[in-house]
Chain A
Amino acid sequence: MDFDFNLLMNAIASGLLLGGFYAAVTAGVSISFGMLDIVNIAHPAFVILGSYIAYYFSASLGVDPILVSIIALPAFYLLGGAIYQVYYLSFERRGQDALRGLAFFFGLLFVTEVTLLLTFGVDYRYVEAPYIGPSLHLGSIELPYRLLIPCVAAMLLYGALEVFVSRSFIGRAIMAVSQDQLALQLMAADPIRIKRIAFGISIATASLAGALLIVIQPVEPSVGRDYIGRVFAICVLGGLGSLPGALIAAFLLGVIESLTSTYYGPSWAPAVSFGVLLLTLAFRPAGLMGR
């Protein structure tokens, strides 16, 4: 069999870049599911919401979509805080979060998706930016800028999150809440407020991830459904509560998906992430770097 080294290298390269982007989408779930134990299955819907906001303001004002999403960060943060408040009052306080909380977020997923559908319609939306189109040529490897820039942005996001979590007071409080909520309460910090801040940050990352998504590919409301599985697969594979783990797992998944797509055909790609998830849950539920 003709072994095309070029094809392999390109597949791995684009897999890594795509993996970087998946990491950006997963950052939010890594915080909400990994650290706060909140199964926010609606996260991909918020990412799509971020995409549409980036599209809307970018198309009408001509501003770069990633810039739009950064400006929209505070709005998403407040949205996340509000959602957590409802979640806490309805479920966590009564101790019923398992089944009801899951159903709540599932319902929220559909409400968000259909609202976007009714507002914007089913047409694919895309943005114009100077870096969508040209590629960086490193020898025989081609790195499209529209994949490279989201990957770099994702890694910056992770760097920022990691610094926040390890250096700042609130960041360390979030880690504390994930380890032992009662102990944190005894230390005179309000765990509910900390969790609200953390969930707000989680949804805020969705805004940025949404802009990155619409840079990579045209978006329509039901695109989010493909990401539900990927996001949780990466979270579990990386180990719950570990941001570096999620980053590594995202790269891994991106490469595996890219190789499957290239050698077996793109119709098998959705099964890859879920297959990885099932294997991880069966053999190493703690993930790569889990507690």
Chain B
Amino acid sequence: MAAVGLAVMALAHWLSVDYFYFAAYTILQFIVLSTAWNILGGYCGYVNFGTAAFFALGAYSTVFWHKFFPMPIPVLIVLGAVVSGIVGLGMGYLTLRLRGAFFSIATLAMAVVFQTLVVNWDFVGGSRGAYIIHPENSEFAGISVHYIEYLFMLMLALALIALVTARTIERSQLGYGFATIRDDELAAEACGVPTLRLKLIATTLSGAFMGMAGAPFPYYIGYLQPQSAFALDYAVNSIAMPMIGGTQTWVGPLIGAIVLGSAQQYATVTISSAANLLIVGLMLVAFVIIAPNGLLGLFEQIRARKKP
């Protein structure tokens, strides 16, 4: 895993095209977001529409601490993770008694409540938004790199951590517990699986990773405002990517994020930036109808048919 990461980093540094960093940052960010969503949505079966809330809370916690005094980004990432993790825990307590569609609508509700709170909170800019100016270059282990490359490396590290965590969860006791919740929660509860505790772990982890993805965002984008940070677009992307890639394993969100993220970047540059949401919607609808288990599911089906 680490070897792949280093290889990607070396390739990127050799290419040294700034746009590549910008685009790749977005795709890596979506890898983290969709992996995080999949922990709750794919493993446990609870569809979370409130991705944007955790993401934006991570971003706004960065803005908040930055106003006190600027800190290196890794520290901010950890702080963002803590904030979003706590919010995830709280959200879990409030909403996990609900099932199915009610849970999803409740997550959407929480996202809007948080957005309203931030809009009315003047310290972080409210609806005026907040600016963060970042330095041109950044010192890293003696090598001076463009800031965007620094952000890219951070996000790459974050994505690797997220993927490793997802893979570890999947193969562990925790993962088996999640799978039982997804398949039949009542039966799991009857067998003695501590479903509430597991679900709370899932929401906390999921929220924490989304917050981590959000923490460097103000530095990347320079100007943060609630309307775009809390947008429903993040929710649809973080649902579409695991569904397209396959929700059962850790590889699914990765594939989905790369495929859909690249398609979106390509469409943004060539057609128009509004078209990329159309692509997300169409691909989501198409995949959900045709390939319920995503691309991975399709591969499995093809492989199964080839066997005698």
Q: A159 to B41, alpha carbons, bound, how many Å?
A: 40
Chain A CB count within 10 A is highest, among B49, B94, B105, for B105
**Is the beta-carbon distance between B120 and A100 smaller than 8 angstroms?**
no
**Is the beta-carbon distance between A267 and B239 smaller than 8 angstroms?**
no
Within 8 A of B (CB), among A232-291: 232-233, 236, 265, 267-268, 270-271, 274-275, 277-278, 281-282, 285
Binds A, one of B67-75, B148-156, B277-285: B277-285
Q: Which of A100, A107, A274, A281 contacts B102 (CB 8 A)?
A: A281
Q: A107 to B108, alpha carbons, bound, how many Å?
A: 15
Within 8 A of B (CB), among A112-155: 113-115, 117-118
Complex contacts, A270 vs chain B, CB 8 Å = 112, 115-116
Complex contacts, A271 vs chain B, CB 8 Å = 112-113, 116-117
The A contact surface, by secondary structure, is helix
A111 at the A/B interface (Cβ < 8 Å)? Answer: yes
**Is the beta-carbon distance between B281 and A108 smaller than 8 angstroms?**
yes
Complex contacts, B113 vs chain A, CB 8 Å = 271, 274-275, 278
The B contact surface, by secondary structure, is helix
**Is the beta-carbon distance between A111 and B281 smaller than 8 angstroms?**
yes
Complex contacts, A115 vs chain B, CB 8 Å = 278
Q: Considering only CB atoms, which chain A residue lies closest to B109 in the complex?
A: A274
Q: A31 to B168, alpha carbons, bound, how many Å?
A: 44
Closest chain-A Cβ to B109's Cβ sits at a distance in Å of: 4
Given contacts A86-B289, A270-B116, A285-B102, contact A228 B108 (CB under 8 A): yes
Given contacts A99-B45, A102-B47, A278-B94, contact A268 B116 (CB under 8 A): yes
**Is the beta-carbon distance between B116 and A98 smaller than 8 angstroms?**
no
Closest chain-B Cβ to A226's Cβ sits at a distance in Å of: 9
Q: How many A-B contacts at CB < 8 Å in the complex?
A: 115
Q: A4 to B256, alpha carbons, bound, how many Å?
A: 57
A56 at the A/B interface (Cβ < 8 Å)? Answer: no
Given contacts A39-B101, A267-B127, A281-B98, contact A103 B284 (CB under 8 A): yes
B243 at the A/B interface (Cβ < 8 Å)? Answer: yes
Within 8 A of A (CB), among B205-235: 232, 235
Complex contacts, A275 vs chain B, CB 8 Å = 109, 113
A109 at the A/B interface (Cβ < 8 Å)? Answer: yes
Within 8 A of A (CB), among B23-82: 41, 45, 47, 49
Chain A CB count within 10 A is highest, among B110, B113, B115, B243, for B113
Tell me the count of chain A residues lying within 8 A, CB to CB, of chain B: 41
Chain B window 271-300, contacts with chain A (Cβ cutoff 8 Å), 1 for yes, 0 for no: 010110110111111001100100000000
Given contacts A98-B100, A232-B105, contact A90 B94 (CB under 8 A): no
Q: Considering only CB atoms, which chain A residue lies closest to B232 in the complex?
A: A225
B104 at the A/B interface (Cβ < 8 Å)? Answer: yes
Q: Which of A96, A111, A232, A268 contacts B120 (CB 8 A)?
A: A268
Q: A100 to B289, alpha carbons, bound, how many Å?
A: 8
A229 at the A/B interface (Cβ < 8 Å)? Answer: yes
Complex contacts, B277 vs chain A, CB 8 Å = 110, 113-114
Closest chain-B Cβ to A144's Cβ sits at a distance in Å of: 26
Q: Considering only CB atoms, which chain A residue lies closest to B46 in the complex?
A: A99
Chain B window 95-137, contacts with chain A (Cβ cutoff 8 Å), 1 for yes, 0 for no: 1001011101110111011011101100000010000000000
A-B contact pairs, 17 of them (CB 8 A): A39-B101, A86-B289, A90-B289, A99-B41, A107-B284, A110-B278, A114-B275, A114-B277, A114-B278, A118-B275, A267-B119, A267-B120, A270-B112, A270-B116, A274-B109, A278-B94, A281-B102
Given contacts A114-B275, A278-B94, 13 further A-B contacts (CB under 8 A): A98-B100, A99-B45, A99-B47, A103-B239, A103-B288, A104-B288, A107-B236, A118-B278, A265-B120, A270-B115, A270-B116, A271-B113, A271-B116
Chain A residues close to B by CB (< 8 Å) = 33, 39, 86, 90, 94, 96, 98-100, 102-104, 106-111, 113-115, 117-118, 225, 228-229, 232-233, 236, 265, 267-268, 270-271, 274-275, 277-278, 281-282, 285
